[in-house]
Structure 1
Amino acid sequence: MSTYSELMSQAKELMAKAEQVRKEELASVIADIRAKMHQYGITVADLEGKSKPAQSKSKAEPKYRGPNGELWSGGPGRKPQWVREVIDAGKSIEEYRI
């Protein structure tokens, strides 16, 4: 029968071998994923669920430019977040007229 020390030594050797095999398999999996991403035109942003910014549906010319370059035509409907923040801060939206 094996001793505790012998079994621990064998366990460490097996864990080292298992880690080496894992690294080899991981490299193969990563290569496969990269090839498929290239084949299908997938980006990291696609994997993270990030999409391209939505295009504005408005055809009206912008009348206001926000503090970070955001544009707004001033039309009816819900005001953009930056406009609401400007108004809540007690500023006039006219300060941002183009």
Structure 2
Amino acid sequence: MDSYRDLVARMAQLEVEIEKSRKAETAAAIDDILQRMVEYGITLDDIGQRAKQGVQRARARVMPKYRDPVSGEEWSGRGKAPRWIRDHADRARFLI
């Protein structure tokens, strides 16, 4: 069985090897990406445009769960409760 010091030394050596391997694989991946960019005529602006499109996705509307019988106002049950339901302990009577 290895001693604690031996294991710590091996772990440090493995961390160095892991970092070298990560750098080599990252460099290879970047080379592959650059080669494909040249092959397909892709620019950094194209990538930036595509990244912005992914961020601007629309959120799905949450269906309302509660309805005020007086005003007909609806609430999904998410976020701050509206005034018409806030003070009611039993919200079951407002369920849709």
Structure 1 length as normaliser, TM-score?
Answer: 0.48
Return the structure number with greater helix share. 2
